[in-house]
Amino acid sequence: MQDLFDINDSDGIWREALGPGAKWIHGFLVTEAEDVMADIARVVAQSPYRHLKTPGGKRMSVAMSNCGTEGWVSDHAGYRYQATDPLTSRPWPAMPPRLRALAQKAADDSGYAGFAPTVCLINYYAPGARMGLHQDKDENDLTAPIVSFSLGLPATFIWGGLQRTGKTQRIMLRHGDAVVWGGEDRLRFHGVAPLKEGEHPLTGRARINVTFRQTGRETAR
């Protein structure tokens, strides 16, 4: 990324570099938000939100669902991707074409052509929910970027370094924002501070985070 800011006045979207391989796209999803929420509602009707447990037995504060050829799960057996929803014993819902296309556009706009997401994690943050610092490293293909969308209440995104104890930056992600990271930033530690109370006209007392990954195991359907 050559420029810190890349403003597109024609659509009100502007882009900010978070690192050599990471871009924050302000307002990327705003015009599509209602349709995206409708897609999410259809996925969650088939595979409801649930609070997973860490391998150590702790209940995660963020509720989660998935769509795509695989879904990300966690339990006493560890963190992993699998093709069936453990809650329903059925395959995860197919990834809605609109969601896949938007993820690919965000990746393309950030310099990652050819992104083919196989997994879409849908995270539901109620007030107080948080996500500890972690790396996304369960994928076989670490050359593909991570694409993340924010909907609803604003959240403080914690953007760290390649070591857990490294310096962190706090970023306020707002409704419609996207963050894309890959390349030398692909394994950056990141997390979300406890969500503050609030009300959003589209999501109510919640923030919805939609994260796309390319696991390297299957072709997206």
Dihedral angle at the C-alpha atoms of 109, 29, 136, 100, nearest 10 degrees? Answer: -80
State pTM to two decimals.
0.92
Structure tokens at 78: 């560890």
Q: Is the pLDDT at 202 greater than 70, yes or no?
A: yes
Average pLDDT over residues 142-166: 96
What CA–CA distance (Å, rounded) separates 111 from 185?
A: 13
Closest CA to 51 of 37, 41, 63, 40: 63
The identity of residue 163, as a single letter, is Q
Q: How far is CA 37 from CA 2, 71, 202, in A?
A: 33, 19, 8
- Report the CATH fold assignment for 5-213: Jelly Rolls (2.60.120)
Q: Tell me the average pLDDT across 151-168.
A: 95
Q: Using CB atoms within 10 Å of the CB of residue 76, give its burial: 0 to 12 exposed, 13 to 18 middle, 19+ buried.
A: exposed
State pLDDT tens for residues 49-84. 999 999 999 999 999 999 999 999 999 999 999 999
75-112 pLDDT per residue, tens: 999 999 999 999 999 999 999 999 999 999 999 999 99
Tell me the DSSP string of 42-92: HHHHHS--B--B-TTSPBPSSEEEEEES-EEEEETTEEEEESB-TTTSSBP
Decide if pLDDT at 2 tops 50.
Answer: no
Rounded Cα distance between 215 and 116, Å, is: 9
Q: What average pLDDT does range 122-134 have in this prediction?
A: 97
- Helix, strand, coil % over all residues of the chain, rounded to 5: 15, 35, 50
Domain regions of the chain by residue span:
5-213
> What token pair was written down for 157?
């995104």
Cα–Cα distance measured from residue 88 to residue 124, given in angstroms and rounded to the nearest whole number: 19
42: how many CB neighbours lie within 10 A of its CB? 11
Helices (H), the chain: 33-46, 97-109
* Cα distance between residue 22 and residue 119, in whole Å: 20
